[in-house]
Amino acid sequence: MSIRRFASTAMLLLATACEAEEPAALRVAGGDPARGHAVILASGCGACHVIPGVRGADSWVGPPLTEWARRGYVGGRLPNAPDNLIAWLRDPEAISPGSAMPAVGLSEAEARDAAAYLFTLGAARLPPVPAGMQLGPNEGGPRESPRIRPRA
C-alpha cells in the first residue's frame, strides 16, 4: 500500500470513528434521556411545544423543539450547550427577561434529564454546534482543557 493510500485510509477510518462517537459527545453529563422524557411529559411542556417522541406534545404556543441538538441558540440568547439549556429550563426569564416561557419549577436534576432528552433529538444528523465553536463544560466527556469542536 502506498503511503498516500495508507494516509487516506487512515483519514477515512478516523472520520468514521469520529462520526460513530458523535452521540456520546452530545450526551448531557449526568442526565438520563429516559427520565427526561418522563419529566417533559409530567411537566406539561407539550402544552406549548412540539416535541418529537412525547405523547400530546403538538402545540405551537412556543417554538417546536424538533432537532434540538442542531440548534445554535437557546431562546435566541445563549449558545446551545447543555448547561445553558439546563439554566434555561430552570428559569427562562433569568436568561431572557420578559420571555413568555414560564419557569415550571424543575429541579437541577430534572432539568438535566430533560436537557438530555432534548439533546437526543436530531443528534444523529448534524453536529450541535458549528465547527470551531467552543463546547460547553459537559460536552465531549470529562476533560479539563477547553474543547473546540473540530472542523469537519
* Element holding 74 (H helix, E strand): strand 73-74
C-alpha cell at 71: 440548534
Q: How many residues bind ligand HEC (CB under 6 A)?
A: 25
Residues making up the chain, counted from first to last: 152
Task: Candidates 54, 101, 116, 123: give the one binding ligand HEC (CB under 6 A).
Answer: 101
Angstrom distance (rounded) from CA 22 to CA 121: 13
Is residue 100 at the binding interface for ligand HEC, with CB under 6 A as the rule?
yes
Instruction: Find the part of the chain contacting ligand HEC (CB under 6 A) among 1-9, 92-100, 124-132, 135-143.
Output: 92-100
C-alpha span between 84 and 101 (Å, rounded): 15
Q: Which residues bind ligand HEC (CB under 6 A)?
A: 40, 43-45, 47-49, 61-63, 65, 73-76, 88-89, 96, 99-102, 104, 106, 114
